[in-house]
Amino acid sequence: MSEFLKVQELDVCYGKAKVLHNVNLEMEEGEFLFVVGRNGAGKTTFLKTIAGFLKPSNGSVWFRGRRISDLPPETIAHMGVRIVFQEKRVFSELTVRENIVMAAYSFREDPQQAIDKVLAIYPKFGEFLDKKAGSLSGGQRQLLLIGRALIGEPQLLLIDEPTEGLAAVAIKEVRRVLENMKGKVSLIVVEQRIPLVLEMADRLCVMKEGKLCLEMAREELLARKDELERIVG
């Protein structure tokens, strides 16, 4: 088995409704893996289950040889697996600085080092450190959440729909930040913008009706662009 991440025969239910069906996946360290599919396909459920926010009814998730699917999400986060949720929720009444410092305390990182780390991915935050995070644009909130997720030296980031609802300029900033993570952290990204996927993915998985039904290596992606556009709808 892959010693980095292995998802094995995973079923997840909401009440009596099964949302994920026998999902299997192996991921190598350093890989940029993208997951696409139509709304309701189970993509967000998949990420939340890896991160520990949902528990499988069957199957397991393994990270670096340790079974994590029975662990609470805070334990999984401290092991190096972080999730950036789709909703782009920051602590609106706190300043940008306070948002960063809260994450630093949670992961026992020096606050100034944490601030420097976030400024390194988006230097413009230097102008906003003492402004309330609720005043940020959608793109800036997304970058703040990604920056917070990088505090404490994570090994795997799970990012759900990072460009959803963003303007073109903000999408370019998010793409630049993700590109700069190459070689530093592994990524699983749920993303619907096929051009972004084609530019960045080492591998792509298609999720349909709660199943991973198709995988493509990077060299296949461009040749099957039209097929991917149809899948996403």
Question: Encoding tokens for residue 42?
Answer: 């189970």
Residue 213 has, within 13 A of its CA and on its CB side, a CA count of 15
pLDDT in tens, 135-164: 999 999 999 999 999 999 899 999 999 999
Q: What is the mean predicted confidence (pLDDT) over 5-24?
A: 95
pTM: 0.93
Q: What is the mean predicted confidence (pLDDT) over 194-199?
A: 90
Answer whether residue 75 shows pLDDT above 60.
Answer: yes
Q: What is the mean predicted confidence (pLDDT) over 65-74?
A: 96
Query: Which of the 8 DSSP states describes residue 88?
Result: -
Domain extent, residue 137, equals 5-232
Q: What is the 3-state secondary structure (H, E, C) of 131-185?
A: CEHHHCCHHHHHHHHHHHHCCCCCCEEEEECCCCCCCHHHHHHHHHHHHCCCCCC
